[in-house]
Amino acid sequence: MNCLAHRPSTSSLLSLLVAAGSGCATISSGPYGVPLDGQNRALPAKAAGPLKVSAGESGSLASSYFGMVEVTFENDTPGWIQIDRVDLDFGSADKNRSVMVPWGDDIDAWERAIIARNAVETTNMETGLQVLALAGAIAGRGARARDRGAGPVAAVGGVLEIGALGSLYALDREHAAGEAAEGITFSSSHLLSMPIRVPPGLFTKRWILLYTAARPLGGCIDSVILSYDTSAHEHGRVLLKYKDAASRWQTDACAHAFRAQ
Q: Tens digits of per-residue pLDDT, 56-96?
A: 999 989 999 999 999 999 999 999 999 999 999 999 999 99
Alpha-carbon distances, residue 159 vs 62, 128, 174, 179 (angstroms): 17, 30, 20, 23
Which pLDDT belongs to residue 126? 54
Quote the DSSP letter at residue 157: -
Q: What is the pLDDT of residues 22-64, one digit of tens each?
A: 445 689 999 999 999 989 999 998 888 899 999 999 998 999 9
b vs e for 110-148, b when ≥16 Cβ sit within 10 Å of the residue's Cβ?
bbeebbeebeeeeeeeeeebbbebbebbbebbeeebeee
The candidate with the shortest Cα–Cα distance to 162, out of 192, 136, 141, 127, is: 192
Higher-confidence position of 56 and 120: 56
Pick the CATH number of 3-260 from 3.90.1170.50, 3.40.640.10, 2.60.40.1150, 1.10.10.10: 2.60.40.1150
How far is Cα 115 from Cα 139, in angstroms, rounded to an integer?
12
The pLDDT, as a whole number, for residue 183 is 63
Q: Domain ranges for the chain, please list them.
A: 3-260
Integer Cα distance of 23 and 21 in angstroms: 7
**Which pLDDT score, from 0 to 100, does residue 123 have?**
59
For residue 114, pLDDT over 50 is answered with yes
Residue, of 174 and 47, whose pLDDT is higher: 47
Per-residue model confidence as pLDDT tens digits over 199-212: 999 999 999 999 99
| Per-chain mean pLDDT for the chain | 79
Higher pLDDT, 137 or 115: 115
